[in-house]
Structure 1
């Protein structure tokens, strides 16, 4: 009998030890998830570059550390979600990783500064049909070229802000018509100069995306007879550019002028301002806007003016002729801003062989 009691006690101690070990692991995992979530939400997080819209500055396959401190951390708008997953995953069907039954108002902690012209910014995509909550929309990365209150214009691809021409990023890219004497290009040369051939319009004529830093060297090649910029002429209307209205004969290379809305700015309501800012008034500032009997109604009340509630930004890609940006979907509201990229911690080239995939020259590289 005594042996049975000792045996039972020993078994209980073993079970307790197993439970304690399991509990320790569970506690450690929960603690790690909580700390990681706080760090990701308040300090910094990692993002990947999904497209070529920022090439030569940032490359497809770059992995970035993005600071939340610079502009202030945005508090969760959709607080219930699965940590570390994108807002949607595709497991045979589209599955949301969040529950939008609870939505909190937009609030941002104080930051080290504000978004400035020339900053590269990560933000939630403001275009298309806005089905997901703000903080669950796809992440984009672009360069800010217009801050609240700025008057922006594009003249023959040159960006003019408040009457002054903005300098292009050192490795900005744009398209050129390149004519040769018929002698073929050396593929290695084009690869070394980060030049992309987008098309061929004759035996000797090509359309190429050329970084500013590579222009002079390409022009000095013996087989080059001419290089001319690809520019859509002023007055040629492109219905794909914002605000997709017949009132404005704008295109990607000749655009504006347009004023970036700032909090507290009041506009008169008319056909032109509604075309430019109607999306902002309705979708981003959550108003009901109607036009009837020659009058405008906001939230069922007659209105002749509107005062903006938020600040907005104008974002463009450094790869100007291969970028979906504010020229196509308009302004970025302040509540969409996520943070400022600080450095590239890894860069993967998916087109290379397994032993050459890592772009070592970009690892731990600061972002300008």
Structure 2
């Protein structure tokens, strides 16, 4: 009889330990970290296809997708360890997933480098990035050979979203990256830069009619942004679909900062790349 009771206690103890373990793991996955596999070559030489990365959600803060402002449909973001810094590698949801407009699709992920911060004025000249008039030091890390850009077919060098401005992926901008609270005046240039952002934030259509801009039928001469935005770029500049093609990234799409590579496997040979295990990502 005593043995039976003891066995029952052991079983319940194991069940309790299992439940607690599951709760802890789920909590950590929601609030602290996430793991992703790199599928492409757009972040070489920093990340290779077949790398498995660990993402720190505490930078800029864990995002709770099922909670938040129901009126605007935005997820809740908790206070993080610190804010994002320029040139950090981030994982984020694709803001233009199969759409010309910014959408909320929490199932499609990108990994790129944050080369432009809220409040920056960014431009690219000959494949070289400049922020606020200063050459971005990240050019020493990413592939920005102007000869590579020149060799690309014209159709791949012209980003469709900005073609009216005459920009190419190697000669791009300048573009001001809005910070939360920034007020911009709409004009013939800004309408191309910020229309998707304004429509995303308001849920309304912004149209031009005889040099007048109408937001859901009402005249809109200026707009104050509700979110921070970022300019994202791939380290392999000639083979990366990034902000040069699709535009600026809203903060609420950011998952977190890439911390390190915890495993790496060559997709071609199916062999482990042991030298990349537990390698930090800068």
Q: Give TM-score scaled by structure 2 length.
A: 0.85
Which of 328, 331, 334 is the aligned partner of 2:245? 328
User: CA 1:132 to 1:288, structure 2 compared with 1: closer, same or farther past 3 Å?
Assistant: closer
User: Of residues 78, 82, 88 in structure 2, which corresponds to 1:113?
Assistant: 82
Distance 1:165 1:250 in 2: 19
Residue 54 and residue 30 in structure 1: after superposition, are their counterparts in 2 closer, same or farther (change >3 A)? same
In the alignment, which residue of structure 2 is the partner of 1:206?
A: none
1:266: how far off?
1.3
**Equivalent residue for 2:108, pick from 138, 152, 155:** 138
Q: Deviations over 1:163-200 (max 9, x none)?
A: 01112355423568xxxxxxxxxxxxxxxxxxxxxxxx
Instruction: Look up the match of 1:317.
Output: 234
Structure 2 counterpart of 1:161? 131
CA distances 1:45-99 after superposition (whole Å, capped 9, x unpaired): 21111111101011111111111112111122379xxxxxxxxxxxxxxxxxxxx
Aligned residue in 2 for 1:243? 161
Give the whole-Å Cα distance in 2 for the aligned partners of 1:133 and 1:275: 18
Distance 2:170 2:38 in 1: 24
Give the structure 1 partner of residue 62 of structure 2: 73
- For the pair shown, the structure with the greater C-alpha radius of gyration is 1
Instruction: Show the 5 A alignment for 1:249-260.
Output: 249-260=166-177
Aligned match of 1:147 in 90, 107, 117?
117
Bigger CA drift: 113-122 or 20-29? 20-29
Deviations 1:310-330 (A, max 9, x none): 000000000000111001111
- CA offset at residue 151 of structure 1? 0.7
Q: Distance in 1 between matches of 2:66 and 2:105?
A: 6
Report if the CA contact (8 A) 1:118-1:143 is conserved: yes
Aligned residue pairs total: 278
Structure 1 contact 342–367 (Cα < 8 Å) conserved: yes
Instruction: Note if contact 1:174-1:320 (Cα within 8 Å) is conserved in structure 2.
Output: yes
Aligned-pair CA distance for 1:302: 2.0
1 CA distance for matches of 2:6 and 2:30? Answer: 36
User: Structure 1 pair 19/258, CA: closer, same or farther in 2 (3 Å)?
Assistant: same
Q: Equivalent residues in 2 for 1:196-345 (5 A)?
A: 229-232=147-150, 240-241=158-159, 243-246=161-164, 248-292=165-209, 294-345=211-262
Q: Evaluate the alpha carbon distance shift between residue 251 and residue 293 of structure 1 in structure 2; reply closer, same or farther with a 3 A threshold.
A: closer
Partners of 1:320 and 1:50 in 2: how far apart? 16
Relative distance call for 1:277 and 1:132 in structure 2 (3 A) is: closer
Q: Of 63, 74, 95, which residue of structure 2 is paired with 1:126?
A: 95
Deviates more, 1:105-114 or 1:51-60: 105-114
Distance 2:4 2:201 in 1: 57
TM-score (norm 1): 0.66
Pairwise CA RMSD of aligned residues?
3.3
Structure 2: gaps spanning 5 or more residues: none
SS of corresponding position for 2:137: coil
User: 2-side partners of 1:294 and 1:170: how far apart?
Assistant: 43
